A = this chain, B = another copy of it.
């Protein structure tokens, strides 16, 4: 656990350096849009998705440097989704990671545009490795396709839509699992899988990596739900119990915190079992799986 935190920290530094470069203000274009995008990207995220991508690509022999554009793209997509989710018309959140949300700081119009800009920038930089022949264009296209599917109407956007539709009402267990698998799980899974694809893993390896990724994705969201009730508000950086107050259905609300925690732990065990079947050094991904349920914020 401690090792994982240390390893994540070392990743964070190089990820942040690359994000800083990719999001550098471009002379001649409105400074405001870069300020708003950067404000939310550099708000102290854990960089879990890019770390998962770099580690997954690393398992199959790809260097951190080559995989970095895809890693940064995932963090941009994640950040755009937070900016848009926080908007008054959506979750109406004033605080995120201990600071005012993007629209509180820059106004709603700029926040909508910052989200749009980040999503677009993500696909821009995903094309870079193909243009520079750092990654084969075929693999880059396959990974970008997969990320777009995971982020779109049949993925994250679909999960967010279902979440919005079910707010305040009674929800079925099936709908709750749909929301969790798509709103958060899909992009976490895509982080693992796009790393696996660009690094050229074989089809059997991809199969086990996919199971790993889906299990940690759902475990991550369940843990998030639990932390929304139990975590230290300061560490969480946002108002505690907001999900419950908004009438949002969560795992602990439906099953209680104990069964939820158990479910998350079982998912992590299953995730690691799938890693065992891959004939590569997957220790770092095992550690990351443990970190997902053990984290305190």
Contact = CB atoms under 8 A, between A and B. Distances in A.
A243 interface: no
- Interface magnitude class on chain A: 35 or more
A131 B33 CA distance: 33
Contacts of A161: 30, 32-33, 110, 113
A123 B148 contact: yes
Nearest to A128: B145
Nearest to A26: B154
Nearest to A116: B157
A92 to B, nearest CB: 10
Interface stretch (A82-90, A198-206, A220-228, A281-289): A82-90
Nearest to A140: B141
A270 to B, nearest CB: 22
Contacts of A89: 107-109, 112
B112 A37 contact: no
A127 interface: yes
A237 interface: no
A138 B110 CA distance: 34
Given A131-B141, A137-B141, A145-B131, A153 B33 contact: yes
A158 interface: yes
Say whether chain A's binding surface is mostly helix, strand, loop, or mixed.
helix
B152 A117 contact: yes
Given A89-B112, A112-B112, A144 B127 contact: yes
Interface string A156-185: 011011101100000000000000001000
A119 B121 contact: no
B121 A33 contact: no
Contact of A29 (B121, B124, B153): B153
A149 B124 contact: yes
A34 B34 CA distance: 31
A43 interface: no
A228 to B, nearest CB: 20
Interface string A64-102: 000000000000000010001001011000000000000
Contacts of A230: none
A259 interface: no
A37 B140 contact: no
A148 B131 contact: no
A236 interface: no
A10 interface: no
5 contacts: A30-B153, A33-B153, A119-B120, A124-B152, A131-B141
Given A29-B182, A127-B148, 10 more contacts: A30-B158, A37-B153, A90-B112, A109-B164, A113-B160, A120-B153, A124-B145, A124-B152, A127-B142, A131-B142
Question: What 6 pairs across the A-B complex have the smallest Cβ distances?
Answer: A137-B137, A89-B108, A124-B148, A130-B141, A120-B152, A127-B145
